[in-house]
Structure 1
Amino acid sequence: MTAKSTIGFIGLGIMGRHMAGHILAAGYPLQVYNRTAAKAAPLVEQGAVLAENPGALAAACDVVITIVGYPADVEEVYFGDNGIIANARPGTVLVDMTTSSPELAQRIAAAAAGKGLAALDAPVSGGDIGARDGKLAIMVGGAAETFDSVLPVFETMGARIALMGPAGAGQHTKMANQIAIASTMLAVSESLSYAEAAGLDPAKVIEVVGTGAAASFLLNGLGPKIAARDYAPGFFVHHFVKDMSIALSEAERMGLDLPGLALARSLYQKLVDGGYGEEGTQALFRVYCGLTATGEAA
C-alpha cells in the first residue's frame, strides 16, 4: 500500500464520518458509501467519491474499511450480491471496524483468503470524541504482514493501535473492553445516584472523587453529562446492548459466568424497551430515576 492507494470507507455514522474524514485529510484518495447517501455529502464536498454500492466501492479500492451497525449489516456488506468479497480485486485488504462477532470475523477472513484478498478485524474504542480527535484505540486481529501494510491508515484514526492475534482476536479484545465498560457504567450511575440521594452536588462529587482511586474515563467523561442530564449519544445504547449480547454469547461458549455483564445488559435493555435506545450509554442513569423523560427522580 502507498500514499496513492485508494481507500474505501463504508458506514458514515457518529464515528465513521470522522474516521473517514481523517483518512481523506491525510491525502488518500477516498471512496465512500452509506445507506443514507446524504450523510456522505460533507466528505464528497471535500473530495471523496460517492460509490453506488459496496461492491462498486470494493472494485475500485485497494483497502476497504467498514464500520456499520450490527453483525447482520456486516454479513450483508461483505457477502451480499453487491457485497465486498464478490467484487474486490485480488490483493485488496478488507478491514471491518464494526464491533461484531469473533466468529463472523473469522468467516470473513476465510472467505477473503479464498478470493485472494486479505482481511483484518479492527474494532475501535473511544466513542465519538476519540473518532473526532483521531485518538481511537484500535484492536486488530489478522496476519502481521497485513496489519503492517495498513498501519499508516490506522494511524490517521487512532492513537493506540495493536495487533492482538489472528482473525477474531480484535473482536475478542473489544468484547473485553465492552465488559469493562458495562460494569463501570453501573458503578458510575450508582455512585451519582447515591450522591444525589444524599443531597450532594454530583458535579462537585465528580471533581473530588474523579482525582482519586475511583477516577476513570467514564466517571470523568460521562459523569458530568449525567449530572447535567445530557444523554446525547457518543455511542448508542442499542449498539451497546448488541455488543453485550455478543460478549455474553461468547462467554457462554467458553463456559464463563459473567454476572456483572448480565446485569448491565438487563438494565440497558430496559432503556431500549423504554424508547431510549438512541441515547448515549450514560443514559443508564435513567434506570435509577425510573426512566423519566428528564432523568429526574420519579
Structure 2
Amino acid sequence: MKRIGFIGLGLMGANIARNIMQGGYPMALFDPCQENLAPLVAHGAKSVESPQALAECSDIVFICVPGAPQVEAIVEGRQGLVLGAHDGLVIVDCSTSDPTLTRRLSETLADKGVAFMDAALGGTPTQAESGELQAIVGAEKDTLEVIRPVLECWASKILHVGPAGAGHTMKLLNQFLAMGYGAIYSEALTIGAKAGVTPAVFDSVIRGSRMDSGFYQTFFQYVLERDRNAHRFSLANAGKDISYVANLANDLNVKAGVANAIQELYASALDEGAGECFVPELSDIVARRHGVSFSP
C-alpha cells in the first residue's frame, strides 16, 4: 500500500483523509492545529512535526489548504515538502490555488523526480464525508494512474482535464460561475424587493425553471428558511477565489469586466468584516445597503 501524507484537516481535508484511511492506507498527518489531528490520530494515523518530515515518510502527499500562499509555504518554505522530497514522490494539491503557481511547482519539482499535480475539489463537506466529491485533475496520465486508487477512496468522479495547472484553472472557472450566481441572486433579490417582489414570489417563478440549479436551491434555502448550514462556503473563500479568477484573466490579457465587477462586490463585503459569513448571506449585505431586509 502507498504511504499517504496529508496536510490541511479542515472541513474538506479531514473527511478526505478519513476516507483514505478507511481504504486501508497508512496515514501520516501535518496540521498546526492539534485539535484537527486528534480524531484521525485516535483512529491510527500518526502526526509528524513538519511538511519536510511528512514528505520523507510518504509516497503520496495531499495538500488541502485555503489557497496559493499556504501551498507555496508548505512546499518551499521553512521545513517545506521540498526538503524531504525523494524520487517518486507525488504531491497532490487539492486546494483552490493559483494555476500559475501550480505549473511552476510542477516544473521545479520535476527536476527532483517529484510529480506535483492538482486535484481540485468539486462538491460540499457533506459529499466529502460520504466520499462523493469530484476530483478535477491536472496531471500527466501516468501520474494519475499511480494515484487513481487513492483518489477513488474519496471521489466518485475523477475528471482528467489536462496537465498540471489545468485542474486549478477549471476549478476557478467553476468558482467564477458560482460566485457570479451568488452576486446576481443578491442584487436581483434587492431589485425585486424595492419593486415589491418578495423572495418567495421570486422563488415561485425560478424554482423548477431552466434557471433552477443545485446552487440556486441551497442559496435560497438560506434566503427563505434562514438555514445557514444549507450552503457553507465563506465569503472569505469566495472573495479569494474570485480574485484568483480576475488575476488569471489579467495574466492571460483577457478584459474580464464581469469577473472584476464580481470581485469588487465580494471585496466590499469583506471590507465590512463579513468574511465569516456564508455566500448566501451576501443577499443580506446587499439588501441592507438599500434599506431592505429579508429576515422574517
Same fold (TM over 0.5): yes
Of the three residues 95, 101, 107, the one matched with 1:104 is 101
**Post-superposition offset of 1:53:** 1.3
**Post-superposition offset of 1:204:** 6.8
3-state SS, counterpart of residue 20 of structure 1: helix
Tell me the alpha carbon deviations over residues 16-40 of structure 1, each in whole angstroms, 9 at most, x when there is no partner.
1111111112211111111212111
The percentage of counterpart residues that share the same residue type is 31
Of the three residues 68, 78, 81, the one matched with 1:81 is 78
Q: Following the alignment from structure 1 to structure 2, what is the Cα–Cα distance between the partners of residues 198 and 135?
A: 41
Of the three residues 251, 261, 264, the one matched with 1:263 is 261
Change (3 A) 1:100 1:223: same
Quote the residue 1:243 is aligned against. Answer: 241
Change (3 A) 1:90 1:275: same
Tell me the alpha carbon deviations over residues 168-207 of structure 1, each in whole angstroms, 9 at most, x when there is no partner.
1111111211111121112222344455556666357536
Residue 63 (str. 1) matches residue 56 (str. 2): no
Quote the residue 1:282 is aligned against. Answer: 280
Of the three residues 8, 24, 28, the one matched with 2:5 is 8
Does the CA contact (< 8 Å) of 1:206 and 1:219 recur in 2? no
Residue 137 (str. 1) matches residue 134 (str. 2): yes
The residue correspondences of 1:102-251 to structure 2 (distance < 5 A) are 102-194=99-191, 196-197=193-194, 202=199, 205-206=202-203, 209-231=206-228, 234-251=232-249
Does the CA contact (< 8 Å) of 2:246 and 2:263 recur in 1? no
3-state SS, counterpart of residue 19 of structure 2: helix
Q: Following the alignment from structure 1 to structure 2, what is the Cα–Cα distance between the partners of residues 124 and 65?
A: 12
Q: Following the alignment from structure 1 to structure 2, what is the Cα–Cα distance between the partners of residues 29 and 207?
A: 50
**Post-superposition offset of 1:130:** 2.7
3-state SS, counterpart of residue 123 of structure 1: strand
Change (3 A) 1:134 1:194: farther
Does the CA contact (< 8 Å) of 1:206 and 1:224 recur in 2? no
Report which stretch shifted further, 194-203 or 255-264: 194-203
Structure 1: gaps (5+ residues): none
Structure 2: gaps (5+ residues): none
Q: Which amino acid aligns with 2:17?
A: A
